[in-house]
A and B are shown apart, each in its own frame.
Chain A
Amino acid sequence: MPEATILLIIASIVNALVLSSMYILLALGFTFLFNIMGILNFAHGAIYMIGAYICFFLATAVGINQWLAMLIAVAAVGLFGIFMERFAFRPFFGNINQIIVVCIGIITVLENGVSVSQGFIVQVTPPFVQGIFRVGIISISWERVVIFLIGISLLILVLLFINKTKQGLQMRAVAQDLEGAVLQGINVHFVSALACVIACALAALAGSLMGSYLSLTPYMGQDIMIKVLEILVLGGIGSINGVLFAGLIVGTLDAVLPIMVSGTATQALMMLIIIVILLFKPQGLFGKEVRG
């Protein structure tokens, strides 16, 4: 059936693009925080989940428009980022063990709190856009198109922010050399708080969108963490530019492998491929070469 195969190939290309953009959207906050502040925010998944639930709650129980709900969720979770930076990251800066402890504590409280209070009822945020976009034999839902566009535009926005704005420049300075940045008069506390706010806001935005695309579960954050870590490591430490290519690789693999092998084998193969890539380029595709 050649027509079916052509359809499959086109569908795979579309899936690869949308998945790449989706993963970039999910990973953006996490990689941003790590590249700027050197903090591995294990609680990223839980924050993503809380953003999704806040948006859902606002859009259904309070009844406001879901785009507005998303913005409010993003703002609220962003503010929570200030709190997280002050109490979770700043006291334990540099000590990865303590950060893991605090992050796991936050994850436990958030996930179990939501699980206990929400129950099992299947919940989905009202869709942000509806309808299907059809062109020839290509058929994509507008929802996926919107996710794709938002993912790409956010990546561009973040890149512009880091490279062109004053705060972005300060963040790069802090990332390069903390002491030097302090000597230059940069308010490191403000910079790291801002970085946390942006990271949490990005996570909440991703969560709000995914809350309507997939559905809401208290443990949705756990599923994305491994993808997010893959993108971080493949993209390269210290380089946001790598996020684009890492996202493309992971997204393409995830769109194509399930067609060839079965579900769990896909994940195992993907890990194998990633480990092989890292064997040759341990610092990631765009990371800086480091010995030690």
Chain B
Amino acid sequence: MGSMIAAPNSNTHRKNLIPAIGYGAVICLLACLPLIFKSPYILHLFILTLIYIIAAASMRFIMTSGQIPLAHAAFLGLGAYVSAVLSKHMGLSPWLALIIAALVSMCVGIAISFPFARLKAFYYAMISLFFGVGLLQGIESLGKLTGGLAGITSIPTLFNTGSKVPYYYVFLALTIISLAILYRFEACRIGWNLKAIDQSYLVSSSVGISEVKYRVLAVAIGCFFVGLAGGMYANYNVTISPSSFDTTSTLWMIIYVAIGGTNDFAGPIIGTAVLFLIPQYFSGLKQYTPFVSAAILFTVVFAFRDGLVSIPRLIRTRYQRKKVKVQTDDS
């Protein structure tokens, strides 16, 4: 279902019908989840998964241009803190704070990416790493405003009911919309240009693709969505603290994308769902739970190079190979 993005041609519309029905079925299933799982704790896990899916998908979008945003969790944190401070200390409506958080995150992303867009993508990676750490340290040092290491509590929530169900549906809708927008960006000319820059900046600039413009654009779009996810997180979770936005969190986001499959749009979605939810299932192991995550990492990275999304394809090709082998044996 989450196949490679095909070049647009005349057959695409017919081919797109089956995946579209598939997607529709999945969305209906997801919409029914709160009716199956009544426990607020499980809903809480699903809501967090949705937030991280947006973050991972936006990270992967930046990665298609060849840059590795090692500050992504810090931007998630930026969105969260901006939304928290605006809605708590300045009394703005949480919905408005959400949008502003996304915009601020986008602007800061552009500001960081622009001076380094001309250089090798590696430099953006290192700069963003330090920027991420510095941003977080900066947030921590503004004690009175941001609560330092202890974070902010009592952030105004998006809904006034105690139930998690409205959050789930709204976040599901936001996730689907965000993913759809990201998919459209990737499938259209912008996405193709980004991939061209990733492969060879020399060739792409020789055909007139401005690497600076597209790299900055990739970062802007990616940072917008992760800022949005951050705001969603703050106004849902009521409490935020710097420790959830540190470099380790960014590295885990990269892992979500890599385990799911970097070359596939569905990669971050599957990677996040698997790596976030499965260890929660094993949370009864208490202090041994991290070993479950490590086991998943090693298994996938050694056995499935292209990530978890490649499993159906691998099974299909092995089956086809067997079929061909049988046929040639018979002849």
Q: What is the interface of chain A, defined by CB distance below 8 A to chain B?
A: 42, 91-92, 96-98, 100-102, 104-105, 108-109, 112, 115-116, 222, 225-226, 229-230, 233, 237, 262, 264-265, 267-268, 270-272, 274-275, 278-279, 282-283, 290-292
Contact = CB atoms under 8 A, between A and B. Distances in A.
The 4 tightest CB contacts between A and B, nearest first, are: A271-B134, A268-B137, A105-B297, A97-B258
A95 B282 CA distance: 30
Given A97-B63, A226-B247, 9 more contacts: A96-B68, A112-B288, A264-B149, A268-B137, A271-B131, A271-B135, A272-B134, A282-B127, A283-B123
What secondary structure prevails in chain A residues at the interface with B? helix
B123 A104 contact: no
B141 A275 contact: no
Contacts of A290: 119-120, 123
Interface of B: 63, 68, 115-116, 118-123, 126-127, 129-131, 133-135, 137-138, 140-141, 148-149, 201-202, 247-248, 251-252, 254-255, 257-259, 262, 287-288, 290-291, 293-294, 297-298, 300-302, 305
Contacts of B302: 91
Contacts of B137: 264-265, 267-268, 271
26 contacts: A92-B301, A97-B257, A100-B254, A101-B254, A101-B258, A101-B297, A102-B297, A102-B298, A104-B251, A104-B255, A104-B297, A105-B301, A112-B290, A112-B291, A112-B294, A226-B133, A226-B247, A264-B140, A267-B137, A270-B134, A271-B138, A275-B130, A282-B119, A283-B123, A291-B120, A292-B119
Nearest to A109: B294
Nearest to B127: A278
A268 B291 contact: no
Nearest to A91: B302
Given A112-B287, A262-B141, A100 B129 contact: no
Contacts of A109: 291, 294
A251 B293 CA distance: 36
A278 to B, nearest CB: 6
Nearest to A263: B141
A282 B119 CA distance: 8
A291 B115 CA distance: 13
Contact of A98 (B131, B138, B140, B258): B258
